[in-house]
Amino acid sequence: MTLTKNGAQDLARRRESPDRAWSPAVFVLALMVAAMLPTTHAGASEPCCSITAIDAKTQTVTASETRTRRTFQFKVADTKALSTLEVGQPVHADFKTMKVSLNPDGAQPCCAVVNLRAPTSAPVR
């Protein structure tokens, strides 16, 4: 195998710059990681939970997470919003921030989770 002057220079450049050889692999890896990260906007996914009970006196709503069946309660300070809620209504919950959104798109969390219980049985798949 014979290398021309240009071929030898090209080979030398590749050896001097190993990051160029990795750039496509790094790009693909970065895309894969980004796809696995949760979005900051809750509207990108379906609601995780549904309302199971409403206590208007204490302004407390009980909901169940669909996947794990764990239940939680959250406080709704806005009485107008509380009066519009119905049992079975879907809601978005973020258990890292302990906030709930009543909006269909999951935007603008309004309510704080005040009680989180363990699942009642095996997770639904």
Q: Could you tell me the maximum CA-CA distance found in the chain, to the nearest angstrom?
A: 87
The span from the CA of 95 to the CA of 105, in Å, is 17
How high is the mean pLDDT of the chain?
78
For residues 40-55, one letter each, b for 16 or more C-beta atoms within 10 angstroms of the residue's C-beta and e for the rest, the string is: eebeeeebbbebeebe
pLDDT, mean of residues 83-104: 95
The span from the CA of 90 to the CA of 69, in Å, is 14
The span from the CA of 114 to the CA of 74, in Å, is 5
For the chain, which residues make up each domain, given as ranges? 5-36, 43-119
pLDDT of residue 118: 78
Helix (H, G, I), strand (E, B) or coil at 45: coil
Taking each helix axis from N to C terminus, what angle separates 5-16 and 18-36, rounded to the nearest 10 degrees?
A: 50
pTM across the whole model: 0.60
Q: How confident is the model at residue 50 (pLDDT cuts 50, 70, 90)?
A: very high
Q: Is the predicted pLDDT of residue 43 greater than 80, yes or no?
A: no
